[in-house]
A and B are shown apart, each in its own frame.
Chain A
Amino acid sequence: MAAGTGSGKTISATFSPVRHWLLMPSWLVIGFFLLIPVVLMLIYSFLTKEFRGGVIWDFSLAAYDQFIFDRGLFGDDPPRIEWAYISIFLRSIGQAMGATVLCLLIGFPTAYFIATRPAKTRAIWLFLVTIPYWVNLLIRTVSMKFLIRDNGPLNEAMLGLGLIDAPLQLINTNFAVQLGLFYSYLPFMVLPIYASVERYNFAFSEAAADLYAPKWTILRRIVLPIVKPGIIAGCILVFVPSLGAFLAPDLLGGAKTFMIGSLIEEQFKGNAGNWPFGAAASMILLSMVLIVLMFYARAQSRDQT
């Protein structure tokens, strides 16, 4: 493990005078093509929609208002709370949380198991978990759709084994979307937990065992608290992309399983074509993600002090 931990200093007089020139390209490219676009999106969410996509440059809160209130077809009815969009957001949060819990239940034992293998086989196990992470997410989601469709291999197998009498309708259900999210982001849970467990000093477990602590108590009271940073990192890596996922709800779900990602896409691709509304939905999604990341950063800095 000599690699990666150079003992000498890494600051050099060679490149520090030109550091601003070295950083300039990344500032310019990301600033111009991502930071400015996000600010522009924020502005768009306060504009008035133009028929068939695009906007009129008139300030309006209509996009956010439409999220919460229903004012009737002509906009002059007394406002009622509109649950359609709120429930899409709540469903997305629920689906993302469900996927996170499922990934944790499968991911933690896997990560722990891999981290306690001998160094040689450990690399192979880890490589096996990493490969699906690099395979195109679209192809993985299509494969899942192929597997669980009404007359697909999963139903055929269960019929053949006599587990069920008629094919289960899995596709287009909330369950299918949940399964798809779990399947998509499972490697994201395993890798950070593995990194934590790998650094864990098993002398703590041995000390607890010598004091007659039962095995599962050691796991719960000693191992889990120490590897908690890895668990939290894994949960965030699963929760955040699940929240804004588009492929799993679009390919595995139907109209009743709509999530934020599908709602946003529809505003820019489909017939609804309301750009300010899509921008507002994106802003709400981005704010939720930033809140989660801020909590994470705070928890991390608290752990370090």
Chain B
Amino acid sequence: MTRPFDIRHYRGFFAVTCACLVILYAPLIIVMIYSFNDSASITNWGGVSLRWYVDVFTGPDSEKFKLAAWNSLSIAVMAATVSTTIATAAAIGMIRGGQFKGKSASFALISLPIMVPEIVTAVATLIFFSTIGFKLGTLSILVAHIVFCIPFAYLPISARLQGIEASFEEAAQDLYASRWATFRYVLMPIMGPGILSGFLLAFIISLDDFIITNFIKGAGVETLPTAIFGSVKQGIKPNIMALSTLLLMFSICLVTLSYFIGKRGEANPPPQT
């Protein structure tokens, strides 16, 4: 049977999709292009060069950028590790715990960092740290990052665990495996892709955070986003565009990595009994 039209397709939707992608990518691509500009002005084009990339690593601001990059990376690695560990334990408790009192309250608490607007979290954390006399600095940033990374790590981990049947753990238990051995040698390998994408998600979220870090970083401590923000406040400079492009490429690599991990997870679904 033929219809006068294809019911799935609407004229113009393809054009809107293209417009959507142009809107999303145009600013990023233009900044990428201008980061290769040889001119010291951000307006005039002076030919292609890597001058500003060299400047990021050796220029007058390079020490500041290196320190900020080190802070960002070390905080992101630690925050992602701790929050992934906490989220993995929480996911097993929630998904494998059956029905218990306070289950929905626990879920609400785990999702709280996503529900509260970032700026409110920033204000509350600043007030809390200053009231208890916690010194603002790298440690305060790390603690705050661990908190808001937990729900982002929790989501893919719990999604993966939901697809895994309990029979594997029960088989291990029947063979007298301890609870820890059951987790370490049976459950964790099957949960692997979920834990890995949870870790990557938490890592990117921590690396990207500006608002909360900006509130509680204290004097003198900078991460890459706060360093870029401080610099941009005095006007966009070409070396900032080069640095942004580097950070951009790094994020895109991570996303691509997590995409392929997700693909492999789909190719290796949790075994069925």
The 8 A CB mask of B30-63 against A (1 = contact, 0 = none) is 1100100000001100000000000000000000
Measured CA separation A142–B90 after assembly (Å): 37
Residue B241 CB within 8 A of the other chain: yes
- The verdict on B138 contacting chain A, using a C-beta distance below 8 Å, is no
The answer for the CA separation of A22 and B92 in the assembled complex, in Å, is: 7
Partner of B93, one of A19, A36, A38, A293: A19
Nearest Cβ on chain B to A158's Cβ, whole angstroms? 14
> Within 8 Å of chain A (Cβ to Cβ): is B234?
no
Q: How far is the CA of A293 from the CA of B108 in the complex (A)?
A: 12
Closest A residue to B143 by beta carbon equals A33
What are some 18 contacts across the A-B interface (CB < 8 A)? A4-B160, A4-B269, A5-B163, A12-B170, A14-B166, A19-B94, A33-B146, A38-B124, A41-B127, A109-B10, A109-B13, A110-B20, A132-B25, A136-B207, A183-B24, A218-B7, A243-B117, A264-B119
Q: Is A206 an interface residue (CB 8 A)?
A: yes
Closest to A208 in B: B7
Question: Given A8-B165, A15-B169, A202 and B8 touching (CB < 8 A)?
Answer: yes
Within 8 A of B (CB), among A233-283: 240-241, 243-244, 246-247, 251, 260-261, 264-265, 268-269, 275, 278-279, 282
Identify which of B13, B34, B170 contacts A13 (C-beta below 8 A). B170
Among B21, B25, B110, point to the contact of A30 (Cβ < 8 A). Answer: B110
A209 an interface residue at 8 Å Cβ cutoff? yes
- A136 adjacent to B27 (CB under 8 Å): no
Closest to A288 in B: B117
Contact A183 B124 (CB under 8 A): no
Per a CB cutoff under 8 Å, which of B9, B20, B27, B265 touches A140? B27
Q: Give the chain A neighbours of B118 by CB distance below 8 A.
A: 241, 244, 246
Q: Residues of A at under 8 Å CB distance from B? A: 2-16, 18-23, 25-27, 29-31, 33-38, 40-41, 44, 54, 106-107, 109-110, 112-114, 116, 125, 127-132, 134-140, 142-147, 149, 151-153, 183, 186-187, 190, 202, 205-206, 208-210, 215-216, 218-219, 240-241, 243-244, 246-247, 251, 260-261, 264-265, 268-269, 275, 278-279, 282, 285-286, 289-290, 293
Q: Is the CB of B34 within 8 A of A4?
A: no
Shortest distance from the beta carbon of B222 to any chain A beta carbon, whole Å? 13
Contact B120 A13 (CB under 8 A): no
Question: Which B residues are CB-close (under 8 A) to A205?
Answer: 7-8
Main secondary structure of the interface of B (DSSP, over half): helix
**Which of B89, B211, B252, B273 makes the CB contact (< 8 A) with A135?**
B252
Cα distance, A110 to B19, chains bound together (Å): 9
Choice from A9, A251, A282 contacting B119 with Cβ under 8 Å:
A282
- Given A10-B96, A29-B146, A125–B5 Cβ distance below 8 Å? no
Give the complex CA separation of A106 and B20 in angstroms: 6
Q: How far is the CB of B216 from chain A (nearest CB, A)?
A: 10
**With a CB–CB cut-off of 8 A, which chain A residues contact B137?**
none
Q: How far is the CB of B252 from chain A (nearest CB, A)?
A: 6
In the complex, chain B residues 91-128 whose Cβ is within 8 Å of any chain A Cβ: 92-98, 100, 106, 109-110, 112-113, 115-121, 123-128
- In the assembled complex, the Cα of A265 lies from the Cα of B214 at a distance in Å of 10
Q: Given the interface contacts A146-B42, A183-B24, A243-B117, does A6 sit within 8 Å of B162 by beta carbon? A: yes
Residues of B within 8 A of A140 (CB): 27-28
How many residue pairs at the A-B interface have CB separations less than 8 Å? Answer: 316
CA distance A135 to B204 in the complex (A): 9
Given contacts A25-B86, A37-B128, contact A14 B109 (CB under 8 A): no
Q: Which residue of B27, B117, B131 is within 8 Å of A183 (Cβ)?
A: B27
* CA of A13 to CA of B174, assembled, Å: 11
Q: Is B272 in contact with A112, judged by CB distance below 8 angstroms? A: no
Contact assessment for A34 and B113 in the assembled complex, using a CB-CB cutoff below 8 Å: yes
| 5 nearest CB pairs, A to B | A22-B93, A19-B97, A3-B269, A244-B117, A37-B128
* 8 Å CB interface, B231-261 against A: 232, 236, 240-241, 244, 247-248, 251-252, 254-255, 259
On chain B, the residues within 8 Å of A3 by CB distance are 163, 265-266, 269-270
Residues of B within 8 A of A9 (CB): 165-166
Nearest CB on B from A204, distance (A): 10
